[in-house]
Amino acid sequence: MDWVKCNTDAALSNANNSYGIGWVLRDHTGNMLWMGARKIPVTRTVLEAEVEAMRWAMLVLSNFNYKRIIFESDSKTLVDSFSEKDQWPSLQPVIQDIHNLLGNFNDHKLAFYPREGNDVADRIAKETLSFTNYVPKLYSSLPNWIKPFVEVDHL
């Protein structure tokens, strides 16, 4: 089975007192396989929202039986938090949950990817801020609001 790649991101809305989290999964040719979009109540920090975006993506994708996966985030602090455990004690329960979820994959990588390469996940996270509830949404086909971002990103 070929590798797949999942980009995650979070966005903050001060007006709504909520975060949006999102992720996109692509195959080895860059085609979108799945997307997840979810609004969550405000956490203490943006980093906690970034961690939740990655945790939720891992949870969903482990249930879909993907086995070789690269998880990318534009939060270097998030990626570093997996190796610098003592630096973020408040995140330890979620980081431990993520480590447990990683055991569901045969092979995985966690990587930092600059914001310029994370436009689709960023757009998904921002779109969720307009959601009227906290019900998670999964997409196996592209909604109209994301198509222009996926097309530009795929070029």
Q: What is the pLDDT of residue 85?
A: 62
Q: What is the pLDDT along the chain (155 residues), one digit of tens a residue?
A: 689 999 999 998 777 778 999 999 999 888 999 999 999 988 778 888 999 999 999 999 999 989 999 999 999 988 888 777 666 777 778 888 888 888 889 999 999 988 777 889 999 999 999 999 999 999 999 899 898 888 777 54
Q: What is the pLDDT of residue 1?
A: 65
* CATH number reported for the structural domain that contains residue 77 in this entry: 3.30.420.10
For the chain, how many structural domains are there in total? 1
Report the largest interatomic distance among the alpha carbons of the chain, rounded to a whole angstrom: 44
Q: Exposed (0-12), middle (13-18) or buried (19+): which is 9, by Cβ within 10 Å?
A: buried
Range of the domain at 119: 4-154
pTM for the model stands at 0.90
Could you give the C-alpha distances from 152 to 30, 120, 132, in angstroms and in order? 12, 9, 28
